[in-house]
């Protein structure tokens, strides 16, 4: 059974630091992996989607990598800002049926 784990559950860093969020999964047979941001009362926003054939995706200050062989994905945030404070979740699709299996998220706090 596929399991997705995100460690740590919470992280607090000063503004301006570069940081890495981790996501691990137990079965390397995945269709794609996505990183989402969740703000209280505002639902989930997709940040980056990496297809199984890709190694990384970039959007602005965000870079997500995927290493299927080791069952890991990372989300790199450069020059963090207080507005980056949110819960970040990774989710993967185990096959072409398109459902997503989710980690529990990392709550990120950027201190001004």
Which pairing describes strands 10-14 and 106-111: parallel, antiparallel, or unpaired? parallel
Tokens of 76: 């790199």
Q: Which residues bind other proteins (CB under 8 A)?
A: 4, 31-32, 34, 36, 41-46, 49, 51, 89, 91, 93, 96-105
Q: CA gyration radius for the chain?
A: 13
**Smallest gap from residue 106 Cβ to other proteins (A):** 11
Alpha-carbon distance of 42 to 99, in angstroms, equals 21
Nearer to other proteins, 15 or 63 (CB): 63
**Smallest gap from residue 85 Cβ to other proteins (A):** 17
Alpha-carbon distance of 25 to 45, in angstroms, equals 21
Alpha-carbon distance of 56 to 1, in angstroms, equals 25
**Smallest gap from residue 73 Cβ to other proteins (A):** 14
Nearer to other proteins, 51 or 58 (CB): 51
**Smallest gap from residue 48 Cβ to other proteins (A):** 9
Nearer to other proteins, 13 or 49 (CB): 49
């Amino acid at each position: 059974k596929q399991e997705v784990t995100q460690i740590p559950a919470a992280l607090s860093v000063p503004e301006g630091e570069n940081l890495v969020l981790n996501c691990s999964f137990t079965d390397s047979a995945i269709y794609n992996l996505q990183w989402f941001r969740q703000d209280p009362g505002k639902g989930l926003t997709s940040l980056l989607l990496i297809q199984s054939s890709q190694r990384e995706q970039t959007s602005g200050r965000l870079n997500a990598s995927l290493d299927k062989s080791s069952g890991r994905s990372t989300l790199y945030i450069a020059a963090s800002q207080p507005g980056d404070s949110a819960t970040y979740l990774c989710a993967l699709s185990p096959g072409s049926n398109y459902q997503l299996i989710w980690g529990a998220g990392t709550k990120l706090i950027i201190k001004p």
